[in-house]
Amino acid sequence: MTSEHQVLVSASILNADFSRLDRVVHKMERAGVDRLHLDVMDGHFVDNITFGPDVVAAFRRLTDMPLDVHLMISEPVRYMDRFIAAGPQTISFHVEIEEGDEQKTAAIEAIHAAGQGAGLAVSPDTPVSAVDPWLSELDVIMIMSVYPGWGGQGFIPEAAPKIAEARARLAGAGRGGLVHVDGGVNSKTAEIVGSYGIDVCIVGSALFQRGSDASDEVNLVKERALRGFEAATAGLAR
């Protein structure tokens, strides 16, 4: 039985060779990824620093692939105009930031005013219900299956059921938003996230393993996530 459900792969380039971004982008295009996932860290919201809007703009110049910005910064509103101007398709920030609800609403409205998609990321210890005040405005709910801050961490299986919760919420909101899962996702963990109905698998370090073919990994992630979904829909999985 084949389902209409589609699973996309968004490549997180956090563990890529930053000295050759053009090669990284072309390698991901050849590997058949659907989107690029750009991890922005400020050394405050998380204990790591990556890059800012100028690097997002550099990726914009390098590829036509959809870009998903994942903001792990404490003050997204302060920098939002610059990230919007860099031209990604979606911008997601963490629901756990200390800024007030009005600030979060303002950030989402600014993203939409520019015609881009807005999302909220949910860390492992945060319930999915934390995004409820903004549900009708969300194009993305990003379920973190690792604690944000580093690539190459182990997948947290307890985070997987939150995918189904997010999916049910977005279905109810009727805006056609998608659920992304981020952290430790690869060909070994794809089937479980697939069984909870994931839309977008964010895959990082698994695509940058020396000597391995990234396109094999992309195909396996899609195949196994769909297998998990079909088994779950047939009431066979989990």
CB of 217 to ligand DX5, least distance (A): 10
Q: Is there a catalytic annotation at residue 54? A: no
Shortest reach from residue 186's CB to Zn ion, in Å: 14
What DSSP letter does each residue of 40-99 carry, written as one string? EEBSSSSS-B---HHHHHHHHHH--S-EEEEEE-S-HHHHHHHHHHT--SEEEEETT-SS
Q: Does 68 bind Zn ion (CB under 5 A)?
A: no
Mask of contacts with ligand DX5, 2-31, x by CB under 6 A? Answer: ----------x-xx----------------
Terminal alpha carbon distance of the chain: 18
Binding string, 51-90, against ligand DX5, x = CB under 6 A? Answer: -------------------x--------------------
What sign has the CA pseudo-torsion 140, 145, 149, 151? negative
Q: Is 133 left (phi over 0), alpha (psi -120 to 50) or beta?
A: alpha
Question: Residues in contact with ligand DX5, total (CB under 6 A)?
Answer: 22
Q: How far apart are CA 50 and CA 14, in angstroms?
A: 8
Q: Cα angle at 27 between 143 and 13, to 5 degrees?
A: 35
Q: Is 37 one of the binding residues for ligand DX5 (CB under 6 A)? A: yes
The single-letter code of the amino acid at 105 is T
Question: Which residue from 28, 35, 39, 190 is in contact with Zn ion, where contact means CB under 5 A?
Answer: 39
Tokens representing 233 are: 């829909």
Query: Residue with structure tokens 């005013």?
Result: 113
Q: What count of Cα atoms within 13 Å lies in the side-chain half-sphere of residue 36?
A: 29
* Cβ 151 to Zn ion shortest distance, Å: 8
Q: Which position among 36, 111, 203, 225 is part of the footprint of ligand DX5 (CB under 6 A)?
A: 203
The one among 182, 191, 199, 217 contacting Zn ion by CB under 5 A: 182
Q: How far apart are CA 183 and CA 187, in angstroms?
A: 13
100 vs 154, which CB is nearer to Zn ion? Answer: 154
Check if 182 is active-site. yes
Please identify which of the residues 17, 39, 64, 213 carries the catalytic annotation.
39
> Is 39 near ligand DX5 (CB under 6 A)?
yes
Q: Nearest distance from residue 182's CB to Zn ion, in Å?
A: 4
Catalytic residues: 39, 182
Chain residues in the site for Zn ion (CB under 5 A): 39, 70, 182
